[in-house]
Amino acid sequence: MSGRAKAAFLFLAILLVDQIVKLYVEAVMLPGESISVISSVFHITYVLNSGAAFGIFEHQRGLFLGVAAAFCIAFLGFYPRLRRSGSLIHYGSVALAAGAVSNMIDRMRTGHVVDFFDFRVWPVFNVADIAIVLGTAGVLWALFIQKRDLHR
């Protein structure tokens, strides 16, 4: 399988898993409802987040949609270069884009992002958020750690 095919699979897998889980949570839970998975440690909590990370910039739907659209256009424009920049940058960027697109779909569909992973010591988040964080970490690692190690 080519790198482009693997990237497409990764993108679609993140997008579909995130959207399917969100639709399931919406179908079986009410906003604010919480189900304990591991008492006092991990819950599934249905939260409608109208802001960005940690709920900042609440009710700025237009801003978030604009930023996400701009990011997607930039991603598509730079994709050929990203593909040649090494696996961490390539796949990290794909994961980041998939998470951004999935959260953008939520905002377009409902005006909110559906969050559900609740560890009670951190704000509630979703699969797309995990993809964004891991993708960003991979890109930053490649840019700053791997690059530094190559120049030693």
What distance in Å separates the CA atoms of residue 102 and residue 17, rounded to the nearest whole number?
10
Q: Are 10 and 94 in contact (CB under 8 A)?
A: yes
- Residue 118 annotated to the active site: no
Catalytic residue among 18, 106, 118, 129: 129
Residue the block writes with tokens 């930023």: 67
21 phi-psi bin (left φ>0, alpha ψ -120 to 50, beta other): alpha
- Measured over the CA atoms of residue 79, residue 81, residue 83 and residue 86, the dihedral's sign is negative
Q: Are 114 and 4 in contact (CB under 8 A)?
A: no
Alpha helices in the chain (DSSP H): 3-28, 61-83, 87-110, 127-140, 147-150
Catalytic residue among 18, 115, 118, 149: 115
- Residue 115 annotated to the active site: yes
What distance in Å separates the CA atoms of residue 28 and residue 74, rounded to the nearest whole number?
36
Q: Which residues are catalytic?
A: 115, 129
